[in-house]
Chain A
């Protein structure tokens, strides 16, 4: 919740008209279509485009923000001088079945989804309003487009024409409004509530049959990205609370079979019955079959070898090289996904900053990357902000391992050989491997570590309160976003129980700075504070991978594991 507010706060100051005037010259008249609805381009976009062109901010960041404000992806790409990726359609042919290996979890109600895997099955049946593309732009799906007002506090959503539900109904603004209001409910497990935090039920206003206006309680530029996330799928008001029992949808596929932990089968709707044929083109695949091979990689690899599987959800880092060797094509995305180790600062001895610093000194981040992630990623710097964030400040000196210094520091605090219990998720993946490697390095510094590996079902029950543990974090577009989410005093997900008023104040300041350059200066202070207080050990940013057999044509891995198969065909 805190993030979203911080985010909104920032966007107020984004809109500096002077900067806009300065840069408006850059945009010639030859733009393809500036916004989805043909209206004016949001003003802050121009300044950001300049930053991106000149390398001050990441292009990815620019594309995400600009399209979230209603600029078309083509226009956004043109503004930073990039050409839209052309699709090679040469080898594609209609028909065929795609076999995918993925964990299958219950898909009762999209707004309750808490795993990307759930969204992947449901997304072919029920669709989102907006899609986050693999080129990091946002494009409308069930919407025809959207517009934000000056301070991004009022959004106008236009519906796409002629969208039909599989039961024959026409999609109307009523349906969308019903969904949006459902997202704002405080029901247990409703994960959309936090994603549309600035929206209240009475803020949803039906303008006409095809138009909805969202009146936000605060300015918020994350509302559209929130609507593209995996739980944000639009269901029919009559779906009755259980999607798998009553899969009415607007998508190109119908759900034929579904069983939790076993598999799902999606079949293409009869020709001509899907509205998207005219908009997006007909989908190639006749059938998509998801099979659950469990968390253990061995059966999945065996299935690949037997030709039972064409594509997987994710390849564990330790398996990447093997899958390459077996001749499967690697898909790779660099994201802000990472793993951190933190002490709970409410519990001794982690309340001692020197002790925490000694822990960080005892660990070599390079070794962790090598052992935990097979070297597939980038070394991080113990402050949870990285080069993928526009406000990342390079502090120069990288954290280095120095066991002697660590020992000396422990000695001076009288904490040599202290006993710590290290909890981690023991699922045989990078989390376990990294934790075990870190435990070994702690031991080399003389600490007595009790390794407390827990299965997934056990680990998450109490993850906030372990004395010491490793946790994985998914990437967020902005550096301040993650700091707000996890390190501000007293927020829900502050697992390090970091409580530093100074840090909070500085963070507030950063939230208010739209200009990445200005924010970078503040960020340097925040990063330094994180390091000096030894809040976390963040060994590396991990790359994410999947593999496809040579049958699969046109698949591109999505940065947040979403499966989109419109462009995919099988040979």
Chain B
């Protein structure tokens, strides 16, 4: 068992190394990224020459120590040279991609994940000194970096989603798989198929239209209640606000996680995700119900609920367990979309902001973190499968 786990871990680390290198090559060697960053740093209408100078001296240059490359020019005669911090590009050596990757990896391992260009703070909680584009050194005031902070928000969302999605999926799957081919099975299967056809962005839109703020459903409810004779008796004139208590956007920093701002994003992910789990559970349950030992148990006269709970369920849950764990990459993708729709300021939202502004440190960190999460769940899935399944023995 231990060797199995260690072997898996080594493969995990190897994957991580390869993946980070590939991402680094894509993100770090990108000319457009540098231009974007220059615009972001200097302002939208800065002349091209100024942008070029910024690009030339700021990024990915290694200035030899002691060569005097870092010159502070106080009052230059040449009006083209800015005052203040200035690096002489002649005395700098441009690092090769491999060198840069090495530097990045070394920093990454130490916990120095670089500074985010969009968020103007460190990507991870690193206590060190930051150097800005003007060359000023300043202590990293906020040790709580972008990723940790945002991951916490996403973690809460994912927790809700995962908890409800898995329990719902398992329940529906088990109920459907208990009597294969029954009306209940067919009904639930169609529901499950329908749910896998409704991606998060569709559900997000529909839920906002139907249930958030000045929503259609609540307006309609208002209309219905108005014409009912009970309206005056029970509700009074102004009792029914016609306005949904649910929110179409979350302001986490002000309100934290509340019923009003969490229900819709969580539902949007769940509706898409639970169908797949339900169908897998159903298939596995149906197989278990048809197996020899369950039939034997039924023939022996064991009560039906005992058959289901004691004999079938345990074996039926092995396959869904792996499936659920392998759902993680899709769950993460879904969370990105939902966070963008509902302005939920989590990991996916940060990734979206970073990627659309070529924030290379953030993109790198987000990619690596999400790959770590996925690989870890795969690892848990592999190990768990072995532990759960009595038929497999690994030396």
Chain B binds chain A:
yes
Spell out A's residues near B (CB within 8 Å): 99, 106, 108, 112, 114-115, 185-189, 191, 240-242, 245, 257, 259-263, 289, 291, 293-294, 298-303, 305-306, 308, 326, 455-458, 460-465, 492-493
User: Can you report 25 A-B residue pairs in the complex whose CB atoms are below 8 A from each other?
Assistant: A115-B43, A187-B82, A187-B84, A241-B132, A245-B138, A259-B121, A260-B120, A262-B253, A291-B251, A298-B248, A299-B342, A302-B212, A302-B247, A302-B342, A303-B247, A305-B243, A306-B249, A308-B247, A308-B254, A457-B36, A457-B39, A460-B44, A461-B39, A462-B35, A463-B45
Query: Which of B243, B247, B343 has the largest number of chain A CB atoms within 10 A?
Result: B343
User: Is the beta-carbon distance between A306 and B247 smaller than 8 angstroms?
Assistant: yes
Closest B-chain residue to A105, C-beta based? Answer: B120
Which residues of chain A have C-beta atoms less than 8 A from B251's C-beta?
A: 291, 303, 308
Kindly identify which residue among B46, B254, B260 contacts A189, using a CB–CB cutoff of 8 Å.
B46
User: Is the beta-carbon distance between B36 and A299 smaller than 8 angstroms?
Assistant: no
B214 at the A/B interface (Cβ < 8 Å)? Answer: yes
Closest B-chain residue to A455, C-beta based? Answer: B356
Known: A189-B41, A306-B213; 10 extra A-B contacts, CB below 8 A, are: A108-B132, A189-B42, A260-B119, A262-B253, A293-B343, A294-B343, A305-B248, A308-B249, A455-B356, A461-B35
Kindly identify which residue among A260, A298, A306 contacts B260, using a CB–CB cutoff of 8 Å.
A306
Choose, from B49-57, B229-237, B285-293, the stretch at the interface: B49-57
- Known contacts: A241-B136, A261-B118. The answer to whether A188 contacts B248 by CB under 8 A is no
- Known contacts: A108-B132, A262-B253, A302-B247. The answer to whether A461 contacts B36 by CB under 8 A is yes
Query: Which of A185, A189, A241 has the largest number of chain B CB atoms within 10 A?
Result: A189
In the bound complex, CA of A326 to CA of B51 (Å):
43
In the bound complex, CA of A306 to CA of B343 (Å):
14
User: Is the beta-carbon distance between B138 and A241 smaller than 8 angstroms?
Assistant: yes
User: Is the beta-carbon distance between B247 and A458 smaller than 8 angstroms?
Assistant: no
Which residues of chain B have C-beta atoms less than 8 A from A241's C-beta?
A: 132, 134, 136, 138
In the bound complex, CA of A326 to CA of B84 (Å):
51
User: Is the beta-carbon distance between B51 and A461 smaller than 8 angstroms?
Assistant: yes
Which residues of chain B have C-beta atoms less than 8 A from A291's C-beta?
A: 251, 253-254
In the bound complex, CA of A492 to CA of B48 (Å):
9
In the bound complex, CA of A301 to CA of B341 (Å):
12
- Known contacts: A263-B253, A299-B342, A300-B249. The answer to whether A305 contacts B213 by CB under 8 A is yes
The smallest C-beta distance from A230 to any residue of chain B, in angstroms, reads 12
Which residues of chain A have C-beta atoms less than 8 A from B357's C-beta?
A: 457
B93 at the A/B interface (Cβ < 8 Å)? Answer: no
Kindly identify which residue among B32, B248, B345 contacts A302, using a CB–CB cutoff of 8 Å.
B248
User: Is the beta-carbon distance between A240 and B138 smaller than 8 angstroms?
Assistant: yes
User: Is the beta-carbon distance between A108 and B120 smaller than 8 angstroms?
Assistant: yes
User: Is the beta-carbon distance between B42 and A289 smaller than 8 angstroms?
Assistant: no
Closest B-chain residue to A309, C-beta based? Answer: B251
Main DSSP-derived SS at the A contact region = loop
B295 at the A/B interface (Cβ < 8 Å)? Answer: no
Which residues of chain A have C-beta atoms less than 8 A from B363's C-beta?
A: none
Which residues of chain B have C-beta atoms less than 8 A from A259's C-beta?
A: 119, 121, 253
The smallest C-beta distance from A543 to any residue of chain B, in angstroms, reads 22
In the bound complex, CA of A262 to CA of B250 (Å):
12
Query: Which of A260, A261, A302, A303 has the largest number of chain B CB atoms within 10 A?
Result: A302
Which residues of chain B have C-beta atoms less than 8 A from A493's C-beta?
A: 45
Which residues of chain B have C-beta atoms less than 8 A from A263's C-beta?
A: 253-254
The smallest C-beta distance from B267 to any residue of chain A, in angstroms, reads 15
Chain B 27-44 residues near chain A, CB threshold 8 A: 32, 35-36, 38-44
- Known contacts: A245-B141, A294-B343. The answer to whether A188 contacts B133 by CB under 8 A is yes
In the bound complex, CA of A208 to CA of B251 (Å):
50
B69 at the A/B interface (Cβ < 8 Å)? Answer: no
In the bound complex, CA of A464 to CA of B82 (Å):
22
In the bound complex, CA of A308 to CA of B342 (Å):
14
Which residues of chain B have C-beta atoms less than 8 A from A306's C-beta?
A: 212-213, 247-249, 260-261
In the bound complex, CA of A300 to CA of B32 (Å):
31
B208 at the A/B interface (Cβ < 8 Å)? Answer: yes
B390 at the A/B interface (Cβ < 8 Å)? Answer: no
- Chain B positions 319 through 358: 1 when the CB is less than 8 Å from some CB of chain A, otherwise 0: 0000000000000000000000111010000000100111
User: Is the beta-carbon distance between B50 and A457 smaller than 8 angstroms?
Assistant: no
The smallest C-beta distance from A86 to any residue of chain B, in angstroms, reads 35
User: Is the beta-carbon distance between A185 and B248 smaller than 8 angstroms?
Assistant: no
B304 at the A/B interface (Cβ < 8 Å)? Answer: no
In the bound complex, CA of A291 to CA of B343 (Å):
11
In the bound complex, CA of A99 to CA of B255 (Å):
12
- Chain B positions 125 through 158: 1 when the CB is less than 8 Å from some CB of chain A, otherwise 0: 0000000111010100100000000000000000
- Known contacts: A308-B254, A457-B357, A460-B39. The answer to whether A188 contacts B138 by CB under 8 A is no
- Chain B positions 50 through 84: 1 when the CB is less than 8 Å from some CB of chain A, otherwise 0: 11011000000000000000000000000100111
- Known contacts: A455-B356, A460-B44, A461-B35. The answer to whether A187 contacts B248 by CB under 8 A is no
Which residues of chain A have C-beta atoms less than 8 A from B118's C-beta?
A: 260-261
In the bound complex, CA of A353 to CA of B214 (Å):
52
User: Is the beta-carbon distance between B212 and A305 smaller than 8 angstroms?
Assistant: yes
In the bound complex, CA of A241 to CA of B141 (Å):
13
Closest B-chain residue to A293, C-beta based? Answer: B343
B47 at the A/B interface (Cβ < 8 Å)? Answer: yes
The smallest C-beta distance from A489 to any residue of chain B, in angstroms, reads 16
The 9 closest A-B pairs by CB, nearest first: A114-B43, A302-B248, A305-B213, A299-B249, A299-B343, A302-B249, A460-B44, A306-B247, A461-B35
Closest A-chain residue to B355, C-beta based? Answer: A457
The smallest C-beta distance from A339 to any residue of chain B, in angstroms, reads 15
User: Is the beta-carbon distance between B32 and A458 smaller than 8 angstroms?
Assistant: yes
User: Is the beta-carbon distance between B45 and A185 smaller than 8 angstroms?
Assistant: no
In the bound complex, CA of A300 to CA of B255 (Å):
16
In the bound complex, CA of A305 to CA of B209 (Å):
12
Which residues of chain A have C-beta atoms less than 8 A from B39's C-beta?
A: 457, 460-461
Which residues of chain A have C-beta atoms less than 8 A from B84's C-beta?
A: 185, 187-188
The smallest C-beta distance from A462 to any residue of chain B, in angstroms, reads 7
Which residues of chain A have C-beta atoms less than 8 A from B138's C-beta?
A: 240-242, 245
The smallest C-beta distance from A143 to any residue of chain B, in angstroms, reads 27
Kindly identify which residue among A245, A293, A460 contacts B45, using a CB–CB cutoff of 8 Å.
A460
Which residues of chain A have C-beta atoms less than 8 A from B45's C-beta?
A: 114, 460, 463, 493
Which residues of chain A have C-beta atoms less than 8 A from B132's C-beta?
A: 108, 241
The smallest C-beta distance from A136 to any residue of chain B, in angstroms, reads 24
Query: Which of B32, B45, B356 has the largest number of chain A CB atoms within 10 A?
Result: B45
- Known contacts: A261-B353, A457-B36. The answer to whether A303 contacts B249 by CB under 8 A is yes
User: Is the beta-carbon distance between B121 and A260 smaller than 8 angstroms?
Assistant: yes
Which residues of chain A have C-beta atoms less than 8 A from B83's C-beta?
A: 185-187
In the bound complex, CA of A69 to CA of B81 (Å):
34
Which residues of chain B have C-beta atoms less than 8 A from A302's C-beta?
A: 208, 212-213, 247-249, 342-343
